[in-house]
Amino acid sequence: MNTLTPILTPLTLPNGAVLKNRLVMAPMTTCTGFYDGTVTSELVEYYRARAGSIGTVIVECCFIDNRGPAFPGAIAIDSDNKIPGLKRIADAIKSEGSTAILQIYHGGRMVEPELIGGKTPVAPSAIAAPREGATKPLALTAE
């Protein structure tokens, strides 16, 4: 039996989405977004160039709140004005026949204040990370 064969066959997910093969590009942060997390044209072309043979591309982690970026140049999904840029990435990946997935995150207490305009990071509890110089975050409320 050729054990490599399944890698190149389609896979249907429980929700009915069909991946054209089992090859997946892991999310890899490129730090190439604009200062506010907007997508750059270079990033769109980066994903277009990698889509095609790879069945599924997981786009690098994308912060969900303006106190959430964990890296300079991180891309954002923190407001509706980010949708057009993210759509350009999705369209580029899909135009090559691949499935596009977006990874989302919030950096929590690991966010550097300098990445969020000097504001205090937020986290589930007001407990600083156990590392030198870490900022004590504000505890999030249910609201």
Ligand X SMILES: Cc1cc2nc3c(=O)[nH]c(=O)nc-3n(C[C@H](O)[C@H](O)[C@H](O)COP(=O)(O)O)c2cc1C
Tell whether residue 27 is a contact of ligand X (CB under 6 A): yes
By CB atoms closer than 10 A (0-12, 13-18, 19+), residue 136 is middle
When binding is defined by CB under 6 A, the residue of 44, 54, 61, 86 that contacts ligand X is 61
Closer to ligand X by CB, 26 or 142: give it: 26
**Residue 103 binds ligand X, judged by CB under 6 A:** yes
Q: What is the dihedral of CA 40, 43, 45, 50, to 10 degrees?
A: -170
Q: Which of 7, 17, 18, 28 binds ligand X (CB under 6 A)?
A: 28
Of the two residues 53 and 125, which places its CB atom closer to ligand X in the complex? 53
- Residues near 140 by beta carbon (within 8 Å), at least 6 away in sequence: 122, 123, 124
Return the residue matching tokens 């030198």.
132
33, 54, 60, 85: residue in contact with ligand X (rule CB under 6 A): 60
Helix (H) or strand (E) holding 24: strand 24-25
Question: How far is C-alpha 40 from the geometric centre of its chain's CA atoms?
Answer: 14
Closest separation between CB of residue 142 and ligand X, Å?
Answer: 28
Q: Is 32 in the site for ligand X (CB under 6 A)?
A: no
Binding site for ligand X (CB under 6 A): 26-29, 60-61, 103
